[in-house]
Structures are given as C-alpha cells and as structure tokens.
Amino acid sequence: MSTATIPTQTAKTEPCPLYINGEWKHIASDQTTPVHNPSTGEVIAQVPLCGNDVIDQAVAAAEAAFPAWSETPPAERARVLFRFRHLVEAEFDDICLGISREHGKTYAEAKGDLQRGLEQTEYACGIPNLLMTDSLENVARGIDCDSIRQPLGVCAGIAPFNFPAMVPMWMWPLAIACGNTFIMKPSEKVPLTTNRLIKLLEKAGLPKGVLNIVHGGRDCVDALLKHPKIKAISFVGSTPVARYIYETGAKYGKRVQSAGGAKNFVLIMPDAEVEHSAQGIKDAAFGCAGERCMAGSTAIAIGNAGKTVLPALVDVVKSMKVGRTDRPPQQQPHMGAVISSQHKARVVDLVTQGEKQGAKLLVDGRNVKVDDAPEGFYIGPTIVDNLQDGNILTKEEVFGPVLNVLHSNDLESAIQIANRSSYGNGAAIFTSSGKAAREFRHRVQAGMVGINVGVPATLAYFPFSGWGDSFFGDLHIQGKEGVAFYTKQKVITSRWFNFGEGDIWAK
C-alpha cells in the first residue's frame, strides 16, 4: 500500500485565532493540530485545541449579547447579512482560492461551496417574512388566537471539513437571523475559511458577542454538548459521530439536528441517455474527490446499462486529470487531493481490502502520481465492479473518489438493493422513462431524490432532508424546518371584556 508522508513544516505558520466577544484572540495552548495544503502536504496553520475554559468564555459572550440582539428588529438583523453578502461578493474569487488551498477541492468546486453558502445567507435575509406565523379571529366567540416565533438563546454549530464555507453557513446565518447568538466550531482541518468570512461579517456591523468562533477536537465538542446554557446544536459529519452528538446533546436537554453519512445509490436504466448519464454519474461520484455526503458512491447498472453507460463512464473517468488545486483557475485539474495523508491511507486500504474480497477494478487510482507535488494527498478516481454481498466496500462509507458498481436485472430488484441500506440521504436514477422515474421517486427510501440529476442536494429554501442513519433529529437543516429549529413557538389566546363606565381606558 502506497501512502504519502506528511512533510515537516517548511515555513513559519501562525496560530489560528479564536473570535470571542468581538475580539480575535490567540491563546496559549500545549495542544495544537496542523492545517495542511492537501495539494502539497505543506503545513499552513496551527489550530489550538480548546477546552472547557474557552467554551465558557464564548458562551458568556453569546449570553450577554442575546438580550439586545433578540430585541433587534428582524429587518435590522437581515441588513447585517445583506451587507455581509455584498462584502463576500467583492472578495469572492480570492475566498475561493483560499478554500482550494486549505481543502484541496478544485476552484470550480470551491465556487460552488461558497455560492451555496451565500444562497443560505440570501434565504436568511428574508427573515421578516420567514418569522411570520398564524392568527385566527374568533376561535370562539370574542376570543382570538395567534402565534409568534421567538429565538432560543445561545446556539452552537459543529462543522465537518468537506465544505469549509457552505456547511457553517447552513447554520449561523439562519440562527442569528432568527435572533439567536451563536458559537461556531469549524473543522480543525479547514478553519481558515470560516475565520475569513466572519471577519467580513464583523465588517458588516455584527455586534460583539452575537457570533463567536472556537476551535478544537472532541474535548471542545463535548464542552459544547454539555454546556447548560447552550440551547441547540447543529452538526454535520459521519454517522457514528452524528449519533453521538444527537444522543449526548439530547441527554443534556438540547435541541439537536445531526446530519450523518451516506451510501447514496445511483440507478442506471437501460434507456438512460449515455453521454449525459456518464457525465452526471462521474460528477456525482468524483466531485470534491468524493468527500461529500451526497456523493453518488454506488451505481446499479440495470439490464443492458452495464454494456452501454458503464463503458462510457469508464472512458470519461480515465480521462480525468488529478493535480494541484492551489493554482490559478486556468491551471486547475478535474480533481484535487483528499484532505489528509491519513484519509488517503484509509481509502486506499478499503479499496485494497475490497479487491482481496473479489472486487474487480475497472479504474484504479491508488497509485496516481502528481509530478510537481509528490507529497500531496492524492488518490485517482476509482471504479470497482463485481462487488458481492459482504464486501467491505458495500458496507463502509468510503468518503473518497471510489465508485462501486452493482448489477441488477430490473428496476424492482435495484430499488430493493438501495432500500436495504441503513442510510437514506440521497438517491438518483438516470432514465428516459417517466414511469420508471415515478416508481423510483415514490418507493426509494431516501430523503433527497434525483431524476437525471446525480447529486440531488437541495437548495437553501428546501430542507436537507436525510432519512435513516443519515440524520438524527426532528427538524432538518435549511428551509422552513431550519427556521423552526432555531425558534420556539408561542401561542397567544386573547379575550377583551367591555367594562362599561368603570373601564378607565374608556374615560
């Protein structure tokens, strides 16, 4: 098994600051973790691993800021986000280059990452309308009833590494638009993008303490989960951690939305249009080097699709260029590196185990070389066929550029295969048949479904509605469910009596 070694730090790096109560702080910490440029393996920053004392400071700042911020009119809260969006647009390209540098995804993928985050901000800017609720006159004679939504208090978000801009912005824009104050813990692997964006939010006029940034690993996460003054936790990550976040947060009395991993199936019908289907499956499987919970990680070729679409897919995948993404846009490859040498080793090991268990590699990316970056964390796109039940690749979420291929005689058996998975994030079908598409969308057990769309990730105004082991909680991230998650509903029933001449207000 070939793995890249982590190089020694070749240039002076600065510690990654925290942001608490409107101040950027460097803390002295014996425990730090490096941020790498995955394209080269170079260390570009050091992140402190915070504990209870830092979380206490952040919560205290957020709690102190909550009364004034929650009383700020929703339209004024939205104006801060409008100004923030304008500032991000002005620096959009440079921010995307920063995402590519610290994450390893291509410039085009970084643009999508940031744009999707901005779309969530745009949605949150509609908060005066989103907070409107229901009223009914004369629910009984002379009695009226109406409802209002009020913020929860201090909320927190814990983000993964795979979308440095988008996933944190799934959380904090809507949370603060609803009137909450917030503590953001970005992934310790990619904290620089969040720090840069929050500097623009600060410039947009966000009051001190409304949003705070902490960094760290499990100790930091546990401190957030157990803190008695944090009312709600948003999380995105792997399923084992998502389950832990949900169970622990709920145990400590918090509202929790916890999005986990996936094993998303892409069904290929014999009547699928070959060229567009091959391109769509390629993008679904290998976009962002497969490091996304909506990746199309398992294709099911139905009937003759294994003889038509699959060869075309193999051809287009073999033509993909893997290389450095810390380059100008015109010099970008089709796919970049994975996040770390450890993650590369894990993905390579899973493919090797799968091969030993009888799988056939149609495209093998384990030994890909990038000449000008020999220490980068690269794996080429990989397609694995002839998978049997029990193969490790059918069970594990690889979270890398690996596409499993299964075969089925008909749509019925393909749907049954997909529905046996304990996950339920997304599923897609490529077909020219409306009947097959309707049958699939009705019966497949997944919260987000694509028809000739390989990655059916929802936009900001729809919930990111994973099912099964892909989500733990009741209210999903994004959309109206996101507004409901970050608010509590109050219902008022009122009746007024006519006190006649004795009524002091009648005089």
Residues labelled catalytic: 293
Sorted by sequence, the CB contacts under 8 Å of residue 192 that are 6+ apart come out as 16, 35, 44, 45, 98, 102, 164
C-alpha dihedral sign at 312, 318, 324, 328: negative
Give the chain's end-to-end CA distance (angstroms, integer).
90
Structure-block tokens of residue 367: 């030994």
Location of structure tokens 């540098």 = 101
Q: How far apart (Å, rounded) are the C-alpha atoms in residues 48 and 50?
A: 6
Q: How far apart (Å, rounded) are the C-alpha atoms in residues 418 and 300?
A: 9
Structure-block tokens of residue 153: 């208090």
CB 18 within 8 A of CB 213: yes
Q: How far apart (Å, rounded) are the C-alpha atoms in residues 336 and 106?
A: 6
Q: At what angle do helices 107-124 and 92-103 cross, to 10 degrees?
A: 120
* Ordered DSSP codes for 29-66: -S-EEEEEETTTTEEEEEEE---HHHHHHHHHHHHHHH
CB 354 within 8 A of CB 393: yes
Q: How far apart (Å, rounded) are the C-alpha atoms in residues 84 and 199?
A: 10
Q: Which whole-number Å values give the CA distances from 381 to 361, 470, 492, in the listed order?
A: 11, 24, 58
Structure-block tokens of residue 24: 């950027």
Neighbours of 10 (CB within 10 A): 10
* Ordered DSSP codes for 397-430: ---SSEEEEEEESSHHHHHHHHHTSSEESEEEEE
Strand 135-140 versus strand 143-151 pairing type: antiparallel
C-alpha dihedral sign at 451, 453, 456, 462: negative
